[in-house]
Structure formats: C-alpha cells, structure tokens
Structure 1
Amino acid sequence: MTTTLTEPAIVATGLRKSFGKKVVLDGIDVTVPAGTIFSMLGPNGAGKTTTVHILSTLISADAGQARIVGHDLARNANDIRRVIGMTGQFSAVDKLLTGEENLMLMADLNHLSRRDGKRRTAQLLEQFDLVDAARRTPATYSGGMRRRLDLAMTLVGSPKVIFLDEPTTGLDPRSRRTMWQIIRELVAGGVTIFLTTQYLEEADQLADRIAVLDGGKLVAEGTAEELKRLVPGGHVLLKFADPRGLESAAYTLGDVRRDDDKLTLQVPTDGSVRALRSLIDRLDDATIEVEDLSVHTPDLDDVFFALTGNTNQKAEIQ
C-alpha cells in the first residue's frame, strides 16, 4: 500500500498486552502524524517499552490493531521492518568493531552494495561528527559518541519511522542537547519519531504531541501546553507601580492572591489566550494600569505527578 501525504505514520487502536496475569497495556489508542515527534511519558512499568516493542514488531499484541506507514502490523511485519528503525535505552553497537565497521555491518544487513554501503557510512560519520573516531572502537568513545553511533546505525537503512526508547538515558546535559538537535534535524528531513522518555524537559523541548501512560492506560494526550493546562496552579502575575493600582485591581478582579509588599497580584488562569484576553479586557474597562504582566503555567513535572497514579479516567483536553 502506498502512503499519502495526509496518512499518519502510526495508527494503533485497542492495543492490549499481558504477561501472565499482569496487564501491561489495557487498550490504548495512538495516532502519530508523519514527520512529527510523538513522545510517550510514564513511570517505570507504565507500558512505554512494551508499546514500542509491539509497534516495532518485536513482540505481538494480545488484541488491537496497528498500521505503520500504511502497513498492517499483523499481516505485513516484514514490510514494517524495512521502513522503521529503533534505538533502545542502551547502546547496541559492537564494541569490538570500529565505528566505521559497525556502520558497514549495518549496510550489509540492509543489503546495500559495497559501494553504496561505503558512501552511506561516510555520510553518517560526517552527519554525526564521528569522522575522527571512525577507525577507533566504541570502547574508546564517550557515552554521547556511542549513542550518536547507535542512532547513525539505525539510519543506515533510511527509515521513515524511528522508535527512540529513552535514547538519552545516562547522557550528560551537553550530550543530551546534541542528541536533541540531531532528532530535530531528522524530523525536519521528514522522519517520524516515536520517543519514550523519563526526562520531562526532553518531551517538552522536542515533542509535537505527548501521551501520558500510567498502569497500561493513556491518561492524557495533547501538546505540552495543553497538558500543562490540565493541572491547577496556573496564574497571571500582575505587578503595579503603586498601592492604589494594586487595590483597584484586587477589588475589580476579586479571586486573587495579593502581596502588598511586592505590589503584585496572582490571578488564577488556565493559561489560555482567551483567559488572558478576558483578564486584560477587565483591567482596561476599569482603566487600571499594570506595570508588568507575566503568565505562569504548571510544567510537565506537575502534569506527570498529577496524572500518574490514577488511571480511572483519561484527562480531557479542553
């Protein structure tokens, strides 16, 4: 089947998986548009890696259906393997081979000719800044270099979808940000990324959409900003030039938290543009001058702790 420009890269419905009596996935639905980054968050044991293993054909689901780049997961597993790549939590490079030899091995496994394999290897060594380390074994590499080599090996076959299962685990902040930039460049080139991570900042920085998985159920899904509006604590901080403005605003707005020493008011809000516009209109109608205004929303840490641990109901994005 040939995919169209509007067809999602991944569509899964009702995926279920149990290991013995342990239900790991309890009927999840996932849709990932092509050329985007989709991130799945969740505590240990939530089912993130199981989801990746099912969608990448490593294990089968007990129930449910899925299509990857137009191919049916149950009937066309071999076709799916030809269009996907996968990088796990730990580097899969062969430490006895050089970086160049690792890439050439992957070229052979992808049935590239010797000439095409050498050309592809050279391209990837350049792209991942590994030219100087090409003739050295990964045992001499830093953690970030090994992870870059691992991802480069995944790309030898030019996959359309890449599953990244906690790809920056154990990396220092500089190496993690280097990987983020590589991931952004891959997506800019048309690759679709399915990312699982426990680094909430990573999902916030990279993902077009985020799903929160807990106890085998999807408890929320949306953009980072949509998810942040699901939990309480968002507010607009207003600062005034004098006590008179503070008093007038407090009287006009009603439900606020005031700090007379700092001449500020905290006004509860869901962080939406509509709520902010309404607040500004109320201040304008009362001719109240504000010296400074800033919007404060919960971060993904707040979302994570608020939504995990209770899987009775999926949170609704408004």
Structure 2
Amino acid sequence: MIVLGIETSCDETAAAIVTADRRILANVVLSQLDEHRPYGGVVPEIAARAHLDHIDRLVAEAMAEAGLGFADLDGVAATGGPGLIGGIIVGVMTAKSIAAVHGKPFVAVNHLEGHALTARLTDDVAFPYLLLLVSGGHCQLLLVEGVGGYTLLGSTIDDAVGEAFDKTAKMLGLPYPGGPALERAAAGGDAARFALPRPMLGRPGCDFSFSGLKTAVRQKVEQMPRPLPEAALADLAAGFQTAVCESLAGRCRNALKQLSVSHPQVRTMVVAGGVAANQAIRTALTGLCADFDYRFVAPPMKLCTDNAAMIAWAGIEKLRLGETAPLTFAPRPRWPLDPDAVTTQVRATERV
C-alpha cells in the first residue's frame, strides 16, 4: 500500500509518500517562517495563501522524488482538521481533486491523530500506549487503544505548552519561532537563579496549566532593564524550561500511576507534537519512564513538527481498516480525538 499525504493545517505546506511497510519515499516540507516572522506569529490569511501558492508544486516534487505516478497510489490522505480553516481547505480540496481524477480513495485525517500514530510509523509501537501530545495549540494526555480509539486523561486549563514557550520567548525578546530560540538560550542559563512556579505540580489529576508560569516570567522581566542583560535572559529561559519539564513530568507521573491500576498492560509512553523536539523535555520524560519501567518513544525531530509523512501513515492505518471519507467531507477547524470527553476548558468555565 502506498499513500500520498498532504498537510496544510498551520504554517507548513507538506506532501509525502509513505508505504505500509514503513518506508518514507518522500517527505517534502515548505516552512513559512519568513512570511510570518515580521508579525511574531502565524497570520491565518498569509498561511492560507502560501499553501495555495505552493501545494501543487510540493505534491509534484514528492511524487517525483518517490519515482511514482498517481496511478501507483492506493489512496490520498489530507489533514481535515483541526487547525487554521483556510489552510485545511487548501489541502483537503487538493487531495479530493487528485483522488477524484485518478479514482483513488480519499482519507480525511485528524491532524492530532497524525501526531498520535507517528510512533507506529517510526518505532512500530503496539497498542495500547500513553500519549503526551504537546504542540503550540494542544497539550493533552491520552490513552491510545487503537486507530480512532482515544481516551482523554488530561488537557490544559489555559495555554498549551508550545504557546507558553512562544509567548515567553517573545517577552524575552527572542526571535520567532520562539520555542526553539528559547531552548537555545536556556542551554547557557542557570535554571536556579529565578524562583518560578511549577503549575499543578503535586495536585491530583492529569490536567495542565502554564498561564501562571508565563505570568511569573513576565513579572521578572518587568523588574529588569531593557534590553534584558544576556545572562538574565539565559537564566530566565533556563528557569522557564526547567519549570515546564517538571510540570509535564509531574502530570505524566499521575497518568502513569493511574494507568498502572486501570490499564496495567500499558507499558509504553509516547511524546508527540512540535514541542516533543525539545531535548530537555525528552530527557525529563526518559527519566520518568525509567522510574516506571516504561518504554519511552519520541519520533525523530523532523517528524515531531508538522509534516505530511504522519498524515500519509495515518491514512494507511485507516485504509487498512476500510475507513475512507466521502468527497463531500467538510474541513473542520476543531476535531477532538476523544469527542466524548468533557474538556478541561469546559470544566473550568463551569467552575467560573
């Protein structure tokens, strides 16, 4: 089985060809960093127009790199949501067109499920497993029991961890994209210099919070001269990153304890999403999994950030089960992995 994958949910335009025996024949990604850098973040209209300008060329490049024609494909998969709706429409319509013209099945893939299943592409991870999904828009702990089988254990009550990285980097005067810039700055810093909170640490449950940590950094910044002294910037970056690592590890520890009772057969933890590229977070979670005698799996860096190989692989997983989407499928700006879960944001609103 060979599937073309298309990813356009945010600010990367991507096309990939993947086989059922886990070979990535092509994986082409065009970043829009230069277009969005002047604004310090992703501008949806600019992102959608860039996808429209480049998607046909990238699909052609992927097909050429794989040495295939459309007749060789067994299906076409595209991110159907969640994400920026303009970009999703571009990818979905492109995939539908290819599928319709060449008589191939069309598969609409949940972007989050693409991340969730990447470890099965890279490391042949068996179901079930615990997933920490961390990105600019999402921070969730999920029990993954199969394709389409997700149980939400916890999510953020405010900011996603990637969003917190980006906003903190902006406060520190670091360039866009903020997450990688903050990680680089933290490498030379003293994490113990500034006292910063560890949100939710020690509390029961698996929900996350990063707004208070971000506010604490802002208060430290406001007490200092601008521009920030180089040493202070590095120390704040290191302190923030360490606080995030300890907070994530603490919430994951609760999930591992919970699953040891409810699902003792789970012996693997996977981290996925763009923030999974952060080495400090990987190190913290590696140590945590060692404590619980769990296998820890993190995909290669290039498959943590948005890419089309994960979408193609998710398409393969779905086609194996006979799951396809009609050409009437409507792109979705929101698409939860566990639609039956009462989200943390809803619970927080109800408390207010």
Shorter-chain TM-score tier: under 0.3
TM-score (norm. length: structure 1): 0.25
What TM-score comes out, normalization by structure 2 length?
0.23
For the pair shown, which has the larger CA radius of gyration, 1 or 2? 1
User: Which structure: greater helix fraction?
Assistant: 2
Question: Which has the larger share of strand?
Answer: 1
